[in-house]
Chains A and B, each alone.
Chain A
Amino acid sequence: MDSNNNESNDSRRDFLRKGFVATAAVATGVGLLETACKDTKPKTGDKVKLLSPDGKIVEVDSSMINPAIPDSLLSKHNVREGVPGKKFVMVIDLSRCKNAGKCKSACSKMHYLPDNRSYIKINKMQDSDKASPYWMPTPCFHCDNPPCVKVCPVGATFKLTDGIVGIDNDRCIGCRFCMVACPYSARVFNWDTEYQLNITQMNEIKPHAACSTHVTGTVEKCDFCPTQTAKNELPDCVQACPNGVFYFGDEVEDVVSNGDETVRLSQLLKDKSGYRYLEDLGTKPRVYYLPPVNRQFPFKDAEVPPDAEGQTTHQSGH
């Protein structure tokens, strides 16, 4: 257990270091630096100034500079290919959620969605009349027995090797059968012509964009931010949550992290009696919930926005 913690701490430090270098490189406006200085290419003689991890300005030959994120990852991102050797999984700790809404705004930003729209919803739930209500964030559950994938007539939605349920927006015919098949209402539809962005347009706005594209008349949903996961980073909703509600990780490694702490998945589910929403449907979600006990925050009802009404409560079914 100790060695494992060290390992994850090491990789975390390593990750932070890389991130710092990348940020610094962007700041100097020259591109991104590969971690090790390998002397394989002929020198160009052009010197480039960079900020080193310990805060010094250093000069390196321009031939040594390689982008840390290969172009292929962005522009040639294949929606039908998962990250090899991974089985992504999410755990949502209901005792920590106070409906701060940061996951929703981060999701909107990450996916270039209008502000009032996101792939993640925060629902007010109440298991029974006498139980206290609680907030339940619902992303796509990326089920292992996904009803949406079963019913798709053209194979536009599919299960990837890394456990993610993907969507090919260039294949989707917009019949919306997957939307009625999903028991969790996780899918949204691009009704309008307003938000139609392709990968190239997305890259122009922000360089980490190989997520779902917006094609009018097709179905979209939470995709666990594949560009982030491919880089071993946490999805944006996980990073944005101020209360550490979301744990994200890899079932193969048996490790999940909420950004503050990294824990064993199996131990977490065992200790806090994790469950999956509507387990009896047999859809085998990859998103687990930790029950809303020993809450960090007392439940406070949200102010009902003028355009949203009818906050009804519902049994969670666990």
Chain B
Amino acid sequence: MEPVKIKLDKSNQLLTDLMPKKFNASGKLWVGLLLVIVVIGFFAYIRQLQKGLVVTDMRDFTSWGIYISNFVFFVAISLVGSLVSAILKLANVKWRTPLVRISEIIAVAAIFFAAIIIIVDMGRPERFWHLFAFGRIQSPILWDVIVITTYLVVSSLLLYIPLLPDIAICRDLTPASSKFKKWFYTFLALNWRGTAQQYTLIHKCINVLAVLVVPLALGIHTVTSWLFATTYRAGWDSSNFGPYFVAGAFQAGCAGVIAVTYVLRNHYSLKKYITTKHFDNMAKLLVLLSLVYLYFNINEYLVPGYKMKTVDGEHLKSLFTGHYAPLFWSVQIFGMIVPIVVMLFKKGRAPLPVFIVSLMVVVGAWFKRFLIVVPTLLHPFIPIQNVPASWHTYMPTWEEWAITAASLAGALLVITFFVRLFPIISIWEMTEEQQTPQTDEQTNLYEAKA
């Protein structure tokens, strides 16, 4: 493998465009806002630790609430890392290069906060170590712990290893006067010198990890769906649940990466690197993934809806025409149907409409997880009776909203600080692409066959 030659002076336009920049006023405001949300959530969590889970609106029947649905949302979003950096790579899609790092940091931040939010949901968080001391491999929770930990490690490596040459650039461009910064980048760069051997190694590493991360990514979401599908509950007792969750995760993750990409592109003036073509392609991909998810939704709701078995029927009625109908139909229409229709048109695939539609998909995806978790718990086999009226419904308390918002803000904060410290578009991979002769579609096909 030829080493990538990167010019470390001002003549290199890539460096001026892509090196991490200090926060401007709006950047500082954004960070401040996120920090405030995180602090409020932290305060709410301290209250929960002191008073117990009684501060939530979860009770004996609705024993899982927005913490769990938020967890499922995070796991879903994190699937995007494997989509862009592995599946598109293995499919030999060239235009993905500027999007790889964005999607990988989303994946790492999301899966990290998925792990945190699950600890928040525990009645005895200080006993987390029991999972390792007394873990039972028969329990789907343990499968989830294993597969999420593995995915976190592999995703972090998939973020970190391709970052090494760029950290080295940061190291080399940092003046010796700023000591801490210099030490920070030197430490993280792992003595990267950009030799041919190192480049051979890095490419091998990325290839191995890309192959490894695909089954893991399918695994995290399939196992997460099994937390529900291994029970007898109406709406969860479905052999369809694994692929249904995976399809939903791809859709949510794809929309997530589009939304973040749009913001970064505008804020850091990356229009040269992230073009309208990227949005057009990602929008087409999102339409495909939404159609797949639509297909699974039809299976998931129409088939039991056709039979209307007693408890299933009550659960479905609450979704179709009952208490949860407004939310259910909003999510299905604005989170799926409208986005598909908008993006079928070329004008709908321009950056701004794609951004708006993607936000709709992401918000819809969050509420979809709520609709999967909560209404089912309100429809047990033996109907809820002789309990206080408030136990018949579930409305999250401010503590739950604050903690959930803090976890989302925390994930965004991780992404924000990452962008502050490291180049969000891979400088060395962009240089490598510029140095290799442009390939048209036919050469791509030829390469794929070879």
Residues of A within 8 A of B (CB): 121-125, 136, 138, 147, 150-156, 171-177, 179-181, 183-185, 187-193, 215-219, 278, 281, 302, 305, 307-315, 317
Is B180's CB within 8 Å of the partner chain A? no
Q: Is the CB of A173 within 8 A of B127?
A: yes
Residues of B within 8 A of A (CB): 50-54, 56, 58-61, 63-64, 121-124, 127-128, 130-131, 133-136, 138-142, 145, 227-228, 230-233, 310, 377, 380-389, 392
Hey, which chain B residues are within 8 Å of A192, CB to CB? 51-52, 54
Hey, which chain B residues are within 8 Å of A173, CB to CB? 122-124, 127-128, 130-131
Q: Closest approach, in angstroms, between the C-beta of A263 and any C-beta of chain B?
A: 27
Taken together as a complex, chains A and B put the C-alpha atoms of A308 and B133 apart, in Å, by 42
Taken together as a complex, chains A and B put the C-alpha atoms of A152 and B389 apart, in Å, by 30
Taken together as a complex, chains A and B put the C-alpha atoms of A175 and B233 apart, in Å, by 17
Known contacts A153-B139, A154-B136, A172-B124; A191/B231 CB under 8 A:
no
Taken together as a complex, chains A and B put the C-alpha atoms of A173 and B383 apart, in Å, by 27
Taken together as a complex, chains A and B put the C-alpha atoms of A305 and B391 apart, in Å, by 14
Q: Is the CB of B130 within 8 A of A218?
A: no
Hey, which chain A residues are within 8 Å of B133, CB to CB? 154
Hey, which chain A residues are within 8 Å of B389, CB to CB? 307-310
Taken together as a complex, chains A and B put the C-alpha atoms of A173 and B381 apart, in Å, by 26
Q: Closest approach, in angstroms, between the C-beta of A299 and any C-beta of chain B?
A: 15
26 chain-A/chain-B pairs, Cβ below 8 angstroms:
A121-B385, A150-B138, A150-B230, A151-B140, A151-B141, A151-B231, A153-B141, A172-B127, A177-B141, A179-B63, A180-B63, A183-B231, A183-B381, A188-B60, A190-B52, A191-B52, A215-B124, A216-B52, A217-B53, A217-B123, A218-B123, A278-B381, A307-B389, A308-B387, A312-B385, A317-B381
Known contacts A124-B385, A185-B61, A308-B387; A180/B131 CB under 8 A:
no
Known contacts A153-B135, A171-B134; A185/B124 CB under 8 A:
no
Q: Closest approach, in angstroms, between the C-beta of B129 and any C-beta of chain A?
A: 9
Q: Is the CB of A176 within 8 A of B382?
A: no
Partner pick for B392 among A180, A181, A278, A309, CB 8 A cutoff: A309
Taken together as a complex, chains A and B put the C-alpha atoms of A188 and B404 apart, in Å, by 24
Q: Closest approach, in angstroms, between the C-beta of B294 and any C-beta of chain A?
A: 27
Q: Who on chain A is nearest to B388 by CB?
A: A307
Q: Is the CB of A175 within 8 A of B231?
A: no
Taken together as a complex, chains A and B put the C-alpha atoms of A124 and B133 apart, in Å, by 43
Q: Is the CB of B233 within 8 A of A180?
A: yes
Q: Who on chain A is nearest to B310 by CB?
A: A315
Hey, which chain B residues are within 8 Å of A185, CB to CB? 60-61, 380-382, 384
Q: Is the CB of A174 within 8 A of B385?
A: no
Known contacts A175-B123, A192-B54; A180/B377 CB under 8 A:
yes
Partner pick for B139 among A152, A183, A307, CB 8 A cutoff: A152
Q: Is the CB of A308 within 8 A of B386?
A: yes
Q: Is the CB of A152 within 8 A of B123?
A: no
Q: Is the CB of A172 within 8 A of B63?
A: no
Q: Is the CB of A181 within 8 A of B230?
A: yes
List 7 A-B pairs, minimum CB-CB distance, nearest first.
A174-B123, A217-B123, A153-B141, A153-B139, A191-B54, A183-B232, A312-B383
Q: Is the CB of A189 within 8 A of B123?
A: yes
Q: Closest approach, in angstroms, between the C-beta of B124 and any C-beta of chain A?
A: 5
Taken together as a complex, chains A and B put the C-alpha atoms of A40 and B162 apart, in Å, by 82
Hey, which chain B residues are within 8 Å of A305, CB to CB? 386
Hey, which chain B residues are within 8 Å of A154, CB to CB? 127, 130-131, 133-136
Q: Who on chain B is nearest to A123 by CB?
A: B382
Q: Closest approach, in angstroms, between the C-beta of A19 and any C-beta of chain B?
A: 33
Q: Closest approach, in angstroms, between the C-beta of B47 and any C-beta of chain A?
A: 12
Hey, which chain B residues are within 8 Å of A309, CB to CB? 389, 392
Taken together as a complex, chains A and B put the C-alpha atoms of A283 and B382 apart, in Å, by 16
Q: Who on chain A is nearest to B59 by CB?
A: A191
Q: Is the CB of A121 within 8 A of B386?
A: yes
Partner pick for B382 among A171, A184, A193, CB 8 A cutoff: A184
Q: Is the CB of B392 within 8 A of A310?
A: yes
Q: Is the CB of B385 within 8 A of A308?
A: yes
Hey, which chain A residues are within 8 Å of B121, CB to CB? 175
Q: Is the CB of A281 within 8 A of B131?
A: no
Hey, which chain A residues are within 8 Å of B56, CB to CB? 191
Taken together as a complex, chains A and B put the C-alpha atoms of A88 and B135 apart, in Å, by 28
Q: Closest approach, in angstroms, between the C-beta of A227 and any C-beta of chain B?
A: 25
Hey, which chain B residues are within 8 Å of A311, CB to CB? 385-386
Known pairs A175-B122, A310-B385. 11 more at Cβ < 8 A? A124-B385, A147-B231, A151-B139, A153-B139, A154-B130, A173-B127, A173-B131, A174-B123, A184-B381, A193-B54, A309-B389
Q: Is the CB of A189 within 8 A of B63?
A: yes
Q: Closest approach, in angstroms, between the C-beta of A302 and any C-beta of chain B?
A: 8
Hey, which chain B residues are within 8 Å of A121, CB to CB? 382, 385-386
Q: Closest approach, in angstroms, between the C-beta of B316 and any C-beta of chain A?
A: 16
Hey, which chain B residues are within 8 Å of A215, CB to CB? 124
Hey, which chain B residues are within 8 Å of A125, CB to CB? 382
Taken together as a complex, chains A and B put the C-alpha atoms of A176 and B65 apart, in Å, by 11
Q: Who on chain B is nearest to A219 by CB?
A: B123
Taken together as a complex, chains A and B put the C-alpha atoms of A176 and B231 apart, in Å, by 13
Q: Who on chain B is nearest to A283 by CB?
A: B232
Q: Is the CB of B136 within 8 A of A153?
A: yes
Q: Closest approach, in angstroms, between the C-beta of B93 and any C-beta of chain A?
A: 39
Hey, which chain A residues are within 8 Å of B53, CB to CB? 174, 189, 191, 217
Taken together as a complex, chains A and B put the C-alpha atoms of A90 and B61 apart, in Å, by 25
Q: Is the CB of A189 within 8 A of B60?
A: yes
Hey, which chain A residues are within 8 Å of B387, CB to CB? 308
Taken together as a complex, chains A and B put the C-alpha atoms of A173 and B130 apart, in Å, by 7
Q: Closest approach, in angstroms, between the C-beta of A146 and any C-beta of chain B?
A: 12
Taken together as a complex, chains A and B put the C-alpha atoms of A122 and B382 apart, in Å, by 10
Interface centre among B50, B53, B386 (most CB of A within 10 A): B386
Hey, which chain A residues are within 8 Å of B383, CB to CB? 123, 312-314
Taken together as a complex, chains A and B put the C-alpha atoms of A187 and B63 apart, in Å, by 10
Hey, which chain B residues are within 8 Å of A302, CB to CB? 386
Taken together as a complex, chains A and B put the C-alpha atoms of A16 and B18 apart, in Å, by 88
Interface centre among B142, B228, B231 (most CB of A within 10 A): B231
Q: Is the CB of B54 within 8 A of A177?
A: no
Hey, which chain A residues are within 8 Å of B380, CB to CB? 183, 185
Taken together as a complex, chains A and B put the C-alpha atoms of A189 and B383 apart, in Å, by 18
Partner pick for A155 among B59, B128, B134, B145, CB 8 A cutoff: B134
Q: Closest approach, in angstroms, between the C-beta of B353 and any C-beta of chain A?
A: 40
Hey, which chain A residues are within 8 Å of B54, CB to CB? 191-193
Q: Closest approach, in angstroms, between the C-beta of B237 and any C-beta of chain A?
A: 10
Q: Closest approach, in angstroms, between the C-beta of B283 and any C-beta of chain A?
A: 38
Known contacts A154-B135, A191-B52; A217/B124 CB under 8 A:
yes
Taken together as a complex, chains A and B put the C-alpha atoms of A189 and B130 apart, in Å, by 19
